[in-house]
Structure 1
Amino acid sequence: MGRYTGLPTLDIDFIKASEMSFDTKGGGLEGGRNGLGESVTIETTGGGVFVASYENCFAQRPEEHEYINWVAARMNGSFRFMNVPVRSDWMGPFPLINGVPKPIIGGIPHSDGSLFSDDSGYSQATVFGTVGANAALNAGQMTINVFGASRRLRWSDWFSISHTVKGWRVYRYWEASDPVDVTADVDGVSYSGSQYVISLDRPLREAVIAGTRIEFARPRCVAKFPVGFTLAWRARGFMQSSVSFQFVEAF
């Protein structure tokens, strides 16, 4: 079994991708044909597998080339792992600031109003959730509490859970119940929000207990390079490079 916790996270802001994609592949098998000759599909127990790509990532500065080589040195061979975020900033239930969804707020000062020496501050997610009730391994539905959302859950949103053994795993839902008001204590602080019962696009990778935190801001998933994919370091005139990263959920 691989080590799925304590892993580095791909810096998706630093690699400056011009295109990205996220999907859940598989999850069903053909189960023969009916009397009309139509294919009958059945669901597999483990559900689909998360896949992601960040494409045409521009690099020119020396540290950008160094980062590409570090990812390649770690990930080539498809037997080491890292956390890969889903950049769903635009579509989550985040508050609008100047008309733009804001999943994370930065520049938060210390209690005395001061910032760090480089004028940066703390940051925190604007929306988060917790597991509302215990859910078993391979559960297809779960109860969640959502806090800070600017809208109710509707079509679908990506979110992730940091499992004790499996590490970060990402999910999305295809159905959500009508919300009910809920108040819960999170790390000793009382929050008011909404509770939903959601149907997952793939089963839970590990059992979760009530109170487990759920992340909507930059949700992430443990992943590796697909077998046969390697990240080569290439550069053209003026040391410009454009590389693509491909990932598949780790097991």
Structure 2
Amino acid sequence: MTIRWPCEVLVPRDVAFDIAPRSLAGPASVNGATQVVSSDAGIWKATYGSIVVNNRNAVLAHRAISALLEGRLGSIVVPLCRGYQPVPEGAVAAGLYDQVPHSDDTLFDDGTGYVSGVIDVTAAAPAALRSTSMTVTVTYAGDIQPGQHFSLGERLYRIRTYDPETGTMTFRPPLREAALAGDRLEFDDPVCRMRLASDDGMDLQLSLRRFGTPTVQFIEDV
């Protein structure tokens, strides 16, 4: 199972997720013209900037992730926040995102409870590998708009267009894996499976051996 970045312990102040196009360019001609050929595939790159490392748990968690990843060898699930997603109006106020305890009102040993998804969007029909569009069924969601994200499994996608009349959605990058009818599009907690962009990406410099604000860069694990 792929490990997940613990945003509750290692909180990034600055977050960037972008699709880096894959392009090739030949040498420039005598008049300076250059031909560039780009693939539609693209690859995700992400940056967690100024991560708050200010206590024992954060320091040890950062070191543990570094040891588990072993530079660019290991992969990690990197989550986005729920901001700007199609959260249904009133869902937060109604407590739909609150953690739920056990039947005896107790929580797990780490103080957390059960959490379930709220936004309910599923694939209405199968979509083939490398597809850039699909038809979806929206059971419960707010306004779905271009620029929002969803994930299928551990693969992340960004919406380009959405037609609520037909349920047709286009997105980038192309599907990394085929989707089946009924597969849930994860809007509440979109994630992307990634690797460190460099082998020294988890280096940690601590001020007075106690505090740090490292920046970690990731690239999609394709």
What is the TM-score when the length of structure 2 is the normalising length?
A: 0.85
Question: How far does residue 75 in structure 1 lie from its aligned partner after superposition?
Answer: 2.1
Residue matched to 2:205 = 234
* 2:171 is equivalent to residue 200 of structure 1: yes
Verify the 8 A CA contact 1:141 1:198 in the aligned structure 2: yes
Identity, % of aligned pairs?
22
Within a 5 Å distance, the mapping from 1:130-145 to structure 2 comes to: 130-145=122-137
Q: Which runs of 4+ in 1 moved over 2 A?
A: 27-33, 37-43, 95-98, 100-104, 107-110, 117-122, 227-230
Amino acid at match of 2:206: A
- Contact kept in structure 2, 1:76 and 1:230, CA below 8 Å: no
How does 1:106-145 map onto structure 2 within 5 Å?
106-110=98-102, 114-117=104-107, 121-145=113-137
Which residue in the other structure is 1:22 paired with? Answer: 17
Counterpart CA distance in 1 for 2:197 and 2:74 is: 11
Aligned to 2:191: 220
Residue in 2 that maps onto 1:150: 142
CA–CA separation in structure 2 for the residues paired with 1:128 and 1:42: 38
Higher strand share: 1
> 1:63 is matched with which residue?
57
Q: What is the deviation of 1:156?
A: 2.6
1:96–1:102: 8 Å Cα contact kept in structure 2?
no
Deviation sequence 1:194-213 (CA, Å, 0-9, x none): xx211112110011111112
Q: List gaps (5 residues or longer) in structure 2.
A: none
When residues 224 and 238 of structure 1 are mapped into structure 2, their CA distance, relative to the original with a 3 A threshold, is: closer
* Partner Cα separation in structure 1 for residue 6 and residue 149 of structure 2: 18
Q: Are 1:93 and 2:86 counterparts?
A: yes
| Contact 1:131–1:211 (8 Å) recurs in 2 | yes
Displacement of 1:179 in angstroms is 3.2
Choose from 139, 156, 161 the match for 1:170: 156
CA distance in 2, matches of 1:103, 1:32: 58
CA 1:73/1:238 → structure 2, altered by over 3 Å: closer, same or farther? closer
Change in 2 beyond 3 A, CA 1:121/1:115: farther
Q: Which residue of 1 aligns with 2:150?
A: 159
Q: Which amino acid aligns with 1:25?
A: A
Distance 2:94 2:59 in 1: 30
